[in-house]
Amino acid sequence: MKVLITGSNGQLGSEIKELASDYKNLECVFKDLPELDICDAEVLNTFIIDQHINAVINCAGYTAVDKAEEEALIAQKVNSEGVLNLANALKKVDGKLIHISTDYVFDGNHSQPYKESDPVSPIGVYGQTKRAGELAVLNGSIDAIVIRTSWLYSSYGNNFVKTMLRLGNEKENLGVIFDQVGTPTYARDLAKTCLEILTGVNSVKISKNGNLYHYSNEGVASWYDFAISIMELGGVNCKVKPIQTKDYPTLAKRPQYSVLNKSKIKTDFKIEIPYWRDSLKDCIKKIKN
Ligand SMILES: NC(=O)c1ccc[n+]([C@@H]2O[C@H](COP(=O)([O-])OP(=O)(O)OC[C@H]3O[C@@H](n4cnc5c(N)ncnc54)[C@H](OP(=O)(O)O)[C@@H]3O)[C@@H](O)[C@H]2O)c1
């Protein structure tokens, strides 16, 4: 199977790049801006047809949650129209799509982990545009799945883990929000899951039912808990103090609670998901090396 990975220089795309050679039945092609822009429907169609692409893992996205509030049109173009372009192009070649979405499609008013069947109600532009992208896939009459994930980090790119390690080495004290709760996800774990789903061993097949799944690491944490663990596992001597969301104003509102229920993906694809602190340990070890 020939697989195109879009947005391949981002966190998730880079992790897939590292793992892809372990999956001998997949021939992976990695593309990102400026070479392949998912917003350019014509170039995308031509590429998918000419290169005989059978499947796409869409790692491309406009992921700047705060900036999206000021650049709604650009966020919409990438997260919704770009995804629709992918779905349309794959329909022409009967190809499969794994598309990645976010916990920010929820408003955060739950106190139980969100299931795929729970109603969505995004509270910011980023979440709204990602929801539009989900619908483009789910209504696209193609063999596809959408995987919602949360709090992604990696040894690649910019993310909370790398920011905390940097700030922790610069400052003696750091205030971190304790009243937003979710689950950190190591992009490497999600990358492995995407590749395993595509190989289709021991699992349901990607089908036209347009299936929606939730994936994060196991467990629950606040950003404060996450930061404490980063300092501890990173050997950084910085005192982390809990602060409230109202004491750290941002352009975009974020859900207070966005823990995802992962039962469906674990059952359908027979996968085991690592506990978030175990994966964090692996990632920090990699960053330090
Ligand atoms: N990061 C998180 O915490 C998080 C949480 C939940 C869900 N997700 C979702 O997970 C997916 C992967 O996230 P990530 O953290 O790996 O993202 P990322 O590191 O920001 O990578 C996204 C990649 O897409 C590229 N890109 C942007 N616009 C594009 C376009 N029009 N055509 C092709 N490529 C384009 C970016 O290039 P430039 O850098 O040049 O713009 C970047 O290389 C995204 O769909 C995101 O919404 C992320």
The predicted structure's pLDDT at residue 5: 98
**Average pLDDT of span 55-73:** 98
126 is catalytic: yes
pLDDT in tens, 40-54: 999 999 999 999 999
pTM value is 0.97
CA 64 centroid distance within chain: 13
Indicate if the pLDDT at residue 16 is higher than 80: yes
The predicted structure's pLDDT at residue 200: 80
Indicate if the pLDDT at residue 209 is higher than 90: no
**Average pLDDT of span 125-130:** 98
Q: State both tokens at 89.
A: 């192009």
Sign of the torsion angle spanned by Cα atoms 54, 55, 56, 57: negative
Question: From the candidates 126, 213, 215, 257, which is the catalytic residue?
Answer: 126
> Going by CA atoms, what residue is nearest to atom 36 of ligand 1?
7
Q: State both tokens at 138.
A: 């789910």
Indicate if the pLDDT at residue 234 is higher than 60: yes
Of 103, 104, 152, the one to substitute when testing ligand 1's pocket (max ligand atoms within 8 A of C-beta) is 152
Atom of ligand 1 nearest to the CA of 103: 6
The predicted structure's pLDDT at residue 206: 79
The predicted structure's pLDDT at residue 203: 65
Q: How far is the CA of 63 from the centre of ligand 1 (A)?
A: 5
- Nearest CA-CA partner of 183 in 113, 111, 276, 281: 276
Indicate if the pLDDT at residue 202 is higher than 60: no
201: pLDDT confidence band, cut at 50, 70 and 90?
A: low
Q: E strand or H helix at 101, and its extent? A: strand 96-102
Peptide bond into 34 cis (omega under 30): yes
The predicted structure's pLDDT at residue 210: 64
**Average pLDDT of span 96-113:** 97
The predicted structure's pLDDT at residue 133: 98
**Average pLDDT of span 2-15:** 98
Indicate if the pLDDT at residue 198 is higher than 60: yes
Q: How far is the CA of 89 from the centre of ligand 1 (A)?
A: 20
Q: How far is the CA of 10 from the centre of ligand 1 (A)?
A: 6
Residue type, 185: T
Q: How far is the CA of 102 from the centre of ligand 1 (A)?
A: 11
> Going by CA atoms, what residue is nearest to atom 4 of ligand 1?
152
144: pLDDT confidence band, cut at 50, 70 and 90?
A: very high
* C-alpha span between 243 and 214 (Å, rounded): 29
Which residues contact ligand 1 via a Cβ below 6 A? 6-7, 9-12, 32-33, 37-39, 59-63, 78, 82, 100, 102, 130, 149-152, 157, 187
Percent of the chain with pLDDT over 70: 98
Q: How far is the CA of 12 from the centre of ligand 1 (A)?
A: 8
Residue type, 84: L
